[in-house]
Amino acid sequence: MSSEILIDPITRLEGHGRIHIFVNDEGSVDHAYLQIPELRGFEKFAQGRRAEDMPQITSRICGVCPMAHHMAGTKTLDDLFHVDPPPAAKKVREMVYDAFMVEDHALHFFFLGGPDFVVGPTAPKAERNILGVIGKVGLEIGKEVIGVRKEIRDLMNDAAGKAIHPVFGLPGGVSQPISPELRDRFVAGAVHAVEFGKFALQIFRDVVLSNAEYVDLVTSEAYTHRTYYMGLVDQENRVNFYDGHLRVVDPDGKEFLTFEPRDYLEHVAEHVEPWSYIKFAYLKDVGWNGFNDGADSGVFAVAPLARLNASDGMSTPVAQEAYEEFFSTLGGRPVHHTLATHWARLVELVNAAERMGELAADPEITSSEVRTIPTATPTEGIGVVEAPRGTLIHHYQTDERGLITQANLIVATQNNAARIALSVDKAAKALVHGPEVNEGLLNEVEMAFRAYDPCFGCATHSLPGEMPLIVEIRGPQNELVREIRRD
Amino acid sequence: MTKPKVAFYWCASCGGCEEAVIDLAEVVLDVVEAVDIVFWPVALDFKISDVEALADGELAASFVNGAIRTSEQREMVELLRRKSGAVVAFGACAWLGGIPGLANLSSRESILDYVYHEVPSMQDGNGVRPQEETDVPEGRLRLPHFDEDVRTLDQVIDVDYYLPGCPPPPSLIAQAVTALVEGKLPEKGSVLAPDVALCAECPRAGTKPEDLKVERFHRPYEIVADPETCLLAQGLVCLGPATRSGCDAVCIAANMPCTGCMGPTSRVLDHGAKALSAIASLMQTQEQEEIAALAEQLVDPVGTFYRYSLPASLLHRHVAPDGARAEVEADGATPVGASTRGGGGS
Amino acid sequence: MPETFEPTIVAFFCNWCTYIAADLAGTSRTKYAPNTRVIRVMCSGRVDPQFVLGAFARGADGVLIGGCHPGDCHYQQGNYNALRRFELLRRMLRDMGIEEERVRLEWISAAEGHKVQAVCNEMTEQVRALGPLRLVTPPRVEADGDVGTPEPAAELAGRVTS
């Protein structure tokens, strides 16, 4: 007897979604569709807005990665107003951006995607969260995670105005320089972040790589797709989150295409399906050939796994070591196992932390020369960054007053949308049998989505057990407000 | 004694309000001590069926962020309203419509046309548009209806409290949750934030002249703002005088002007109108031509004054997007002001 | 025979000049279109943009503001403030789809009864030519949970939050 299973809503990720699974008479899955049921229309209501407001307007596309939109928008404004920021301004932007990459990646691994992995994919619902992770890996780590994240959030707040919806980006620079005191905190923060990144990698080795079942899960065919991969790289083809040119490798890992961000329209296009509000990006050079992977399909991937695949290495030493370990363990480049994204994310975390430290140590970082005033008439601009979730492109056209006439945004997850659809379908087909399925199994189907689109998760359920926990609650001036003990 | 149950939900939202809860950091654990979160799709694995299984009123409170734009969002908030003792509109979008509310400047059709057909990356597109029902080989798929306009939460369900900000500052969130748990919430309909304008708490207030007058408005990229002086006095359009405080003036601390995300004080009906009035009153000149020239410098009045509050405004939306008068909306909004009655009518 | 559209014009007239001029038009038996509903304010500078928007939301097809000539304001500066707000407001209203002819600011002194007649007649015809405004505003939920009818007055009463 055929039946339908609806997972609604999908949970532990940013945004809305549902998975509709069609099960046939024999009990196997005919197809699983991941539907995105929301639309807000940013590209339309950008029209008529002042260009300089776009970094703050577009950050409201996502409150988890607002810094990514803010930065893409700010770089677009540089291009639009034909203005080159002073070197110090670029360094400030990149340093703050690297801090954001550290924080967002850490959040994902420990709060969102990590629990499935670290606690176990079919563990009881109540344990699939940060507290379950703490139970597995220890209380110390919990305090570390909360502490490091808070330290970095405070750096972002002080450098950019707000961590959630920053305000400091302007065409030609940033709104305020970094003071020596703030620079010192960035230096300390980067040291903590690098240690923390190494720590997280070690957790991954101890908890995941040394567990044969998990390794089987990661390398299983159910969670594997062989697609093209895209990411920003520098002159030496090393991963760069803030700037560079775009590089695409084919499913065999060979360089397929490189292009400058301003040529994106020649290479990336969007496809629409009637059953979802999301638009699916694909490579024009290959073409849209349906929801398939392989060299004949224009489906591609972005974000940590893709960035590592599309690059020749990392720009900092500890991350480079981790990069080499990643590929030698998993059989060389490219790695097609979607769940390996969790590991790739940690490699990137270390890279962002090291880079943040390099920039914080640069004597120019406290310069007061952080603005170039634009003088040219604005026309058209394109800006690209690597958001935690993938390549993010902003493109604005304006009239001579700098009011937006046309805006086009290719948002990171769109670049992954087709591959995500493939992943959900494949996982459902591999895992779901018969009309009766248990909740844990359905979570394994959700995991196929979760690896790509991390958002924040948070361990705010009632505490599952008698876990010793000592927490210090500090106020805005870091004064001790209260200490909670459960021990 | 069982802990009160709460739910968090998001509508046309960016997730920033959820992040703001996470930014409570350790304080969140205090919250967890005190309440039982039984539905929070971003963080927990409970599904809609779990909410439906609750008794009416079983939830002490639902915190709902995001504006209302789809049928799914309307249905979800109506469900949560039934199941909740109190509903809190969390963040600028739920209270006032937020930045997604700017979509009320366009018609639904023009948004769908632009997003799915006209953007440059769709030029070779397949001409397809999302549909509420699609027949695929395996069966039928459904999508929610994308409404004609963006609405605030209280334009769809009864709301008990409002927590302002984009996002709400963590300190205000902590205070609100504490008040809920301790049963010390103010009267229904209250906005849970200080009821004074930002100028009152701004660190630069001392440099704001008694008789502040502006000879020229500057766009933020045109000048390098002095980091100590009132931004309005420097000709930047700062909405501090017309916007609620409670946010620690963090944008001003970053040397950028307030854009109004905390909404108006209680003495204001329409935030954008009041903000416009405050800025207009600063114009130095009395000459009509010079006043007009100053007004021309404010090139995007709607985007500047109504950035977060268009759906809550008195006009609610652009009155004739694409040149056509808005018609009756199937889900209940009906036109007003049809003055075909004879002279002297009501 | 088709019904002619009769526009509703809400007029805010300042107590010291324009309102007296309107009175004068009345006592002089100077007829003008009855479409104008006059509200007396102490000064044109009292006219808050919220009044203008509120008038539109409650069904006005046009809004007229009348004040003293520059230099003659009973309170010195009030009419200049009205002018500043008006110049900015009409640009914002234009961007919201409300045509410029629907909102007007005139300086009318106490002796200018004929000017009241001329302005009201002219504005009535201009707005008649534009047609009714026909705003769409959504119903607002009342305190008792009922979804109220989209009557502007009820809506606005519920809008003051705290």
CB contact under 8 A, B254 and A175: yes
> Which of C60, C96, C156 is facing B269, going by the closest CB pair?
C156
The pLDDT-based confidence of A484 (bands split at 50, 70, 90) is: very low
Question: Min CA distance, B340 vs chain A (Å)?
Answer: 33
- Does the beta carbon of A395 lie under 8 angstroms from any beta carbon of chain B? yes
Q: Which of A175-184, B245-254, B327-336 has the lowest mean pLDDT?
A: B327-336
| Continuous H helices in A119-229 | 130-137, 139-160, 180-203, 212-219
Phi/psi of residue A393, nearest 5 degrees? -120, 130
Higher pLDDT, B96 or B23: B96
The pLDDT-based confidence of A71 (bands split at 50, 70, 90) is: very high
Q: Return the domain boundaries, chain C.
A: 9-133
Higher pLDDT, A365 or A121: A365
CB contact under 8 A, C141 and B187: no
Per-residue model confidence (pLDDT) at position A486? 38
**Gap between the Cα atoms of B26 and B337, Å rounded:** 52
Higher pLDDT, A344 or B118: A344
pLDDT in tens, A207-243: 889 989 889 989 999 889 999 999 999 999 999 999 9
ipTM: 0.91
Mean of all residue pLDDT scores within chain A: 88
End-to-end Cα separation, chain A, in angstroms: 52
Per-residue model confidence (pLDDT) at position A435? 67
Q: Which of residues 286-345 of A touch B (CB under 8 A)?
A: 288
Higher pLDDT, B180 or A386: A386
Q: Which of A200-204, A367-371, A443-447 has the lowest mean pLDDT?
A: A443-447
Structure tokens at B85: 């003792």
Q: For B105-128, what is the mean pLDDT? A: 81
pLDDT in tens, B281-330: 999 899 999 999 999 999 999 999 999 999 999 999 998 876 554 443 33
CB contact under 8 A, C135 and B286: no
Question: Min CA distance, B251 vs chain A (Å)?
Answer: 5
pLDDT in tens, A395-454: 999 999 999 999 998 888 888 888 888 888 998 898 888 667 787 777 888 888 888 753
Q: What is the DSSP letter of A266?
A: H
The pLDDT-based confidence of B163 (bands split at 50, 70, 90) is: very high
Q: Return the domain boundaries, chain B.
A: 5-97+152-181, 107-147, 198-305
Per-residue model confidence (pLDDT) at position B85? 94
Q: Which helix (H) or strand (E) holds A34?
A: strand A29-35
Structure tokens at B17: 């309000």
Per-residue model confidence (pLDDT) at position A481? 59
Q: Which of C37, C39, C33, C32 is nearest to C9 (CA)?
A: C37
Give C-chain residues touching B325 at CB under 8 angstroms. Answer: 134
What CATH number was assigned to the domain covering residues C9-133? Answer: 3.40.50
The pLDDT-based confidence of C150 (bands split at 50, 70, 90) is: very low
Q: For B210-233, what is the mean pLDDT? A: 95
Total beta-carbon pairs less than 8 A apart between chain A and chain B: 305
The pLDDT-based confidence of B123 (bands split at 50, 70, 90) is: low
| Continuous H helices in A29-175 | 42-45, 54-58, 66-80, 87-107, 114-118, 130-137, 139-160
Higher pLDDT, A257 or A7: A257
pLDDT in tens, A286-337: 999 999 999 999 999 999 999 999 999 999 999 999 999 999 999 999 999 9
pLDDT in tens, A116-163: 877 887 787 777 777 677 777 777 777 778 889 899 999 999 999 999
Per-residue model confidence (pLDDT) at position A124? 79
> Apex CA A90: angle with CA A87 and CA A93, to 5°?
150
CA–CA distance from A89 to each of A164, A168, A175, A268, A372 (Å)? 21, 11, 9, 30, 9
Give B-chain residues touching A50 at CB under 8 angstroms. Answer: 219, 299-300, 303-304
- Does the beta carbon of A276 lie under 8 angstroms from any beta carbon of chain B? yes
Structure tokens at A235: 């002159």
Structure tokens at B71: 């049928």
The pLDDT-based confidence of B345 (bands split at 50, 70, 90) is: very low
**Gap between the Cα atoms of B263 and B243, Å rounded:** 5
Res C152 pLDDT > 80: no
Residue of B nearest to A369 (CA): B224
Give B-chain residues touching A378 at CB under 8 angstroms. Answer: none
Rounded to two decimals, what is the model's pTM?
A: 0.90
**Gap between the Cα atoms of B5 and B55, Å rounded:** 12
Per-residue model confidence (pLDDT) at position A412? 85
pLDDT in tens, C92-103: 999 999 999 999
Q: For B93-121, what is the mean pLDDT? A: 89
Please determine, looking at this structure, whether the domain spanning B5-97+152-181 carries the CATH number 3.40.50.700.
Answer: yes
